[in-house]
Amino acid sequence: MKRFIGFIKKEFYHIFRDKRSLFILFGMPIAQILLFGFAITNEINNVDIAILDHSKDAATKEIINKIAASKYFSIHQFIEKEDDIEAVFKKGKVKAVLNFEKDFSKNLIKENNAKIQVITDATDPNTANTISNYVNAILQNYLKEQNKSSAQVYQIVSQTHMVYNPELKSVYMFVPGVMTIILMLVSAMMTSISITREKELGTMEILLVSPLKPIQVIVGKVFPYIFLSIINAIVIVVLSIFIFKMPVQGSLFLLAMESVLFIITALALGILISTISATQQTAMMISLMGLMLPVILLSGFIFPIASMPLPLQIISNIIPAKWFIIILKSIMLKGVGLQYVWKETLILLGMAVFFIGLSVKKYKIRLE
Amino acid sequence: MSIIVSNISKSYKKVKALQNISFNVKSDEIFGLIGPDGAGKTTLFRILTTLLIANKGAASIAGFDVITDYKSIRKNVGYMPGKFSLYQDLTVQENLQFFATIFGTTLEENYDLIKDIYIQIEPFKNRRAGKLSGGMKQKLALCCALIHKPKVLFLDEPTTGVDPVSRKEFWEMLKRLQGKNITILVSTPYMDEAALCDRIALIQDGQILEIATPEAIVKKYSKAIYNLSANNMFELINSLKEYKHNHSVYPFGEFVHYTDCRPDFNPTELKVFLESKNLTNIIIERTTATIEDTFMELSK
């Protein structure tokens, strides 16, 4: 036991004396969560639009007012002729142009049919889509108000109710993803680097020629990172609750336990990587390419798994991050208990046991 | 016998690193492995410290077999690898304490063993190991390898890259350790250090050329050896190599060592030959053989 404590003490010296690893450990989680929370978002806010109004009557004026009043759009400029549309897009600031036809109000009343052309800048397809949806919603809203006065009988109104994230805040989606990435990075990459550093500097040779058992070396190496990862998880949850008002509907205890389980899985992966790489650089490359990319691309964090081609959907099952993100979302947003996520938990547990077993088996008691 | 090595062979893919190595080291002996870089010294050390498994042969350390009893060996030996292998970001004291803890001992417990060495590095005990000079690093590494009072100490090229004064101090320390029931196996590429060992094995290309005491090895050298110098050393070596009666020619410090293949060698005759090659200031004088001369002769 004394040996073990001595070993852990040494590990903490390494971590706290290496400014780079300290930065990765504590700077990155905060930077990432803020970055994803504030900068990377698919909500639209105050999008600049231009108006080309050929009729300039009561109806168009009211619609324009409604659009200007919404927080999604701000009217950047009014243009007078079709030729100007291309020009304003080319300047780049305006993302959409609303083109009202001539005699808009008259057509609407007499023929019950008036036309607006919504032209969007689709260089960013997602934003373009969202803009046209929002404009449509505002127009529908306007029509509904008009129809109240003139009694129309048949009407289908779809009432959309977005559960678990009624305001469609993208931060709700990013927090679980970022938490997964950070825990994976800290646990897997940092442990694999710290073990291969001993190999690279030759200190592993001395550790091998000592009475320390392999399991003592591994656990001693890994333990500080379990501790630091838990602190990171707490920082992320606290930040997202207080800065982004992210709800945690479910039990915090369950959240903590699931996080520890994921951390252990990631650590086991880190040990496994260190057994197959001889230098810190290799370990880092394998961690980044082999772990980070799948976590970002295949875990369902950014791209929905259901819309992936079948082979990728199958591959995504072997990525621990996928299951952890499902668990996180269920606990944080849906507030469910273990009875709803036991399957995912069991899968994660299985992976942890498998990776630990494999890395203990692959750990070499000699140099080759 | 403290170390018994019999018929050890080891090869890496195509390279034969060690071929049929056998030797014994008695208790409390300083045994030197002398040979150039790439001779297989480090491989042999790694086999004896249980880090590598030989392809053939057997070895035992302090009575424990290197394969079946590797755990007992790891408790009873001290190992100082050729490359400086301590934690550079830990201070001198932290390194010592760490190695003391993992061997289940304390700095105080075996203090008398490392005292002589430790007092030299004590003024720097709060300095990070990476910031020490080469000689200091080696002294610290020796302290760390000794901290658990090992029965056998393995030192792989401990003085490579160390200044001459520190080298001398280092060897004085080894001599002092000898009186404390520690067997020492040390390797070095420096022939002058070989004379300080009790017995030495000359090793080259994975084979042992000779095992004996340093005195006996020098005595085995039967040829008359000459120190030569002239105004142009490079030309001197080339001319000597052209001389048809030469047996061996190689630079040795500020001189060239020369041996002749005839028993009735006449230095004057050689001088005349060299003068015909436009060399001046020629000095030819008889000298005594050293371990390096023996090594050069054996490895021919």
The pLDDT value given to residue B32: 94
Neighbours of A61 (CB within 10 A): 15
Neighbours of B278 (CB within 10 A): 11
The residue of A4, A10, A221 whose CB has the most chain B CBs within 10 angstroms, and thus the best one to mutate to test that interface, is: A10
The residue of A209, A217, A367 whose CB has the most chain B CBs within 10 angstroms, and thus the best one to mutate to test that interface, is: A209
Instruction: Supply the range of the domain harboring residue A190.
Output: 9-40+169-362
Among the partner-chain residues B46, B83, B98, the one whose CB lies closest to the CB of A367 is B46
Q: At what angle do helices B164-178 and B111-121 cross, to 10 degrees?
A: 170
The pLDDT value given to residue A155: 62
The amino acid present at A225, given as its one-letter code, is Y
Are A201 and A108 in a shared domain? Answer: no
Are the beta carbons of A7 and B102 separated by less than 8 Å?
A: yes
Decide: A218 and A271 in contact? Cβ < 8 Å. Answer: yes
Q: In CATH, what number is assigned to the domain containing residue A133?
A: 3.40.1710.10
Are the beta carbons of B75 and A211 separated by less than 8 Å?
A: yes
Are the beta carbons of A13 and B85 separated by less than 8 Å?
A: no
Residue A4 in domain: no
The residue of A210, A212, A364, A365 whose CB has the most chain B CBs within 10 angstroms, and thus the best one to mutate to test that interface, is: A210
Domain count within chain A: 2
Per-residue three-class SS string for A35-72: HHHHHCCCCCCCEEEEEEECCCCHHHHHHHHHHHHCCC
CA nearest A53: which of A119, A106, A97, A113?
Answer: A97
Which chain B residues touch A18 with a CB distance below 8 Å? Answer: 89
A26: closest CA of chain B, how far (Å): 20
Are the beta carbons of A2 and B104 separated by less than 8 Å?
A: yes
A203: closest CA of chain B, how far (Å): 5
Are A301 and A250 in a shared domain? Answer: yes
Among the partner-chain residues A6, A201, A367, the one whose CB lies closest to the CB of B52 is A367
Which chain B residues touch A368 with a CB distance below 8 Å? Answer: 52-53
The pLDDT value given to residue A143: 83
Are A77 and A119 in a shared domain? Answer: yes
What are the pLDDT digits (tens) for B59-104?
999 999 999 999 999 999 999 998 888 999 999 999 999 999 999 8
Q: How far is CA B104 from CA B93, B137, B266, in A?
A: 16, 23, 66
- Joined together, the tokens standing for residue A2 give 């004394």
Are the beta carbons of A13 and B102 separated by less than 8 Å?
A: no
Cβ-Cβ contacts under 8 Å between A and B: the total is: 78
Are the beta carbons of A3 and B101 separated by less than 8 Å?
A: yes
Are A322 and A256 in a shared domain? Answer: yes
What are the pLDDT digits (tens) for B17-71?
999 999 999 999 999 999 888 889 999 999 999 999 999 999 999 999 999 999 9
Residue A1 in domain: no
In percent, the amount of chain B with pLDDT more than 70 equals 100
Residue A367 in domain: no
What are the pLDDT digits (tens) for B163-177?
888 888 889 888 888
Q: Where are the beta strands (DSSP E) in A250-327?
A: none
Are the beta carbons of B89 and A6 separated by less than 8 Å?
A: no
Which chain A residues touch B88 with a CB distance below 8 Å? Answer: 201
Among the partner-chain residues A6, A10, A209, the one whose CB lies closest to the CB of B50 is A209
Q: How far apart are CA A130 and CA A136, in angstroms?
A: 10
Task: Give A110's contacts (C-beta < 8 A, 6+ positions apart).
Answer: none
Domain-wise residue ranges, chain B: 3-212, 225-298
Which chain A residues touch B98 with a CB distance below 8 Å? Answer: 6-7, 9-10
Select from A96, A119, A149 the last residue of a domain: A149
Residue for token pair 């300047």: A91
Interface list for chain A against chain B, based on CB atoms closer than 8 Å: 2-3, 5-7, 9-10, 13-14, 17-18, 201-203, 205-212, 365-368
Residue A285 in domain: yes
CATH number, span B3-212: 3.40.50.300
Are the beta carbons of A212 and B102 separated by less than 8 Å?
A: yes
Are the beta carbons of B53 and A212 separated by less than 8 Å?
A: no
Q: Give yes or no on whether B3-212 and B225-298 have one common fold.
A: no
The pLDDT value given to residue A41: 62
Are A221 and A327 in a shared domain? Answer: yes
Residue for token pair 């048809």: B244
Are the beta carbons of A211 and B87 separated by less than 8 Å?
A: no
The pLDDT value given to residue A58: 86
CA nearest A176: which of A333, A24, A55?
Answer: A333
Are the beta carbons of B98 and A6 separated by less than 8 Å?
A: yes
Are A91 and A194 in a shared domain? Answer: no
Distance from the first to the final alpha carbon of chain A: 28
Are the beta carbons of B89 and A13 separated by less than 8 Å?
A: yes
Phi-psi region of A363 (alpha: psi -120 to 50; beta: other; left: phi over 0): beta
A7: closest CA of chain B, how far (Å): 7
CA nearest B21: which of B50, B61, B64, B56?
Answer: B56
Are A268 and A197 in a shared domain? Answer: yes
Are A222 and A310 in a shared domain? Answer: yes
Are A301 and A344 in a shared domain? Answer: yes
Are the beta carbons of B52 and A205 separated by less than 8 Å?
A: no
The pLDDT value given to residue A40: 63
B136: closest CA of chain A, how far (Å): 18
- pLDDT for B296 beyond 90: no
Among the partner-chain residues A10, A211, A367, the one whose CB lies closest to the CB of B104 is A211
Are A107 and A187 in a shared domain? Answer: no
Are the beta carbons of B87 and A209 separated by less than 8 Å?
A: no
Which chain B residues touch A3 with a CB distance below 8 Å? Answer: 101-102, 104
Among the partner-chain residues A17, A202, A366, the one whose CB lies closest to the CB of B85 is A202
Are A311 and A175 in a shared domain? Answer: yes
Are the beta carbons of A368 and B52 separated by less than 8 Å?
A: yes
Residue segments in chain A with a per-residue pLDDT below the cut of 50: none
Are the beta carbons of B102 and A3 separated by less than 8 Å?
A: yes
Are A33 and A70 in a shared domain? Answer: no
Residue A211 in domain: yes
A226: closest CA of chain B, how far (Å): 22
The answer to whether the Cα torsion of A87, A92, A93, A97 is positive or negative is positive
Could you name the CATH architecture of B225-298? 2-Layer Sandwich (3.30)
